[in-house]
Amino acid sequence: MVAKFTLAGGTQQLSVCLAERLGGECVRLNSPVTAIRQGDDGVEVRTASESFTCKVVIVTCPPHMAAKLQYQPPLPAERQLLCQHMPVGHMIKFIVTYPTAFWREKGFSGEIVTRPSNNCPFSVTFDATSPSGSAALVGFIAGLQAYDWSSRKLEERRDAVVASLVRYLGPEASSFIHYVEKDWAQEAYSGGCPVNVMVPGMLTYFHPSLRRPFGRIHWAGTETATKWCGYMSGAIQSGHRVALEVLARLSPHKLSQEEKEAARGPDQPHARSDLWSHVICYTPFPVTLTLTVITLGATLLLVKPQLRSDLIGQMVAWLPKY
């Protein structure tokens, strides 16, 4: 079961309220950052028309977007690999509004989970009726289906969505008021939705670099969350975590001991390049010991009898000490 929460007035209020608390003069709109240059005394952040200096920088955009910035000095190799090998998903969100929530009247929840096909573009829908009672259904066209359907005309997607809703909820679904959609792949500063994902191998060896500060640069954003990664909850968690990191760096006296511990974050084992050392490091002891015995046993079968006898003798002498 997925818990769904709505915010009366829309979630954009979060950004608006934060901007008001900071003060309008502190927020720059239409000023995308192009370069970040670190020095001994601080950081210089450049846009197309302005330059700012500060003590630290927090980068919250998705990894594949952060990779497009110019860094001096260049990012560490691990961070570059993360940025280059964390593609973002493809998702189209649509909302269909109706005169009434007819699905509720018929005893339906409005939630549809289905396998997308040539006729049905979406994979899931939810009841998006507003707190004021405006009836609506929200749904998502995701993955390969989003890639396929994004090349078609809006009217074709709309008609396919409505026809599928009729199939599942009844003929009332055809009497909609309005259809609107958002293809995040067309957004210049996100490039997709809902979250960047790591290709095979990246999570195993390079995940710690996702949150590890680089000099005066700290990383946030929902991709760096330890819970609800990809969701707004994850974005908020990452903001709280990075705020504690920066305060611990600039004004540690303002933090409680508990906050200082939280700023350090969970212990992150060092990424290893060879598979065997990785297995030894991350595997529970009983499993590790079993793997070691199996490996040694296989090795003994391949050596000469005399050498095998000597090795067994050394192992027997070693075990009590262990």
Q: Report the run of H or E that residue 33 belongs to, with start and end.
A: strand 33-38
Rounded distance, CA 90 to CA 143, Å? 5
Residue reference for tokens 């964390």: 86
Contact 291, 283 (CB under 8 A): yes
Contact 210, 82 (CB under 8 A): yes
Contact 96, 112 (CB under 8 A): no
Beta-bridge partner residues of 136:
97
- Alpha helices (runs of H) in the chain, residue ranges in sequence order: 12-22, 63-66, 77-84, 102-105, 144-149, 154-169, 202-206, 232-250, 257-264, 275-282, 285-302, 305-318
**268 backbone dihedrals φ, ψ, rounded to 5°:** -120, 110
155 is in an annotated binding site: no
Rounded distance, CA 236 to CA 306, Å? 64
Rounded distance, CA 33 to CA 28, Å? 10
199 is in an annotated binding site: no
140 is in an annotated binding site: yes
Residue reference for tokens 């010991």: 289
Q: Which residues are annotated as a binding site for FAD?
A: 33, 223
Q: Which residues are annotated as a binding site?
A: 33, 140, 223
Q: Which residues are annotated as a binding site for substrate?
A: 140
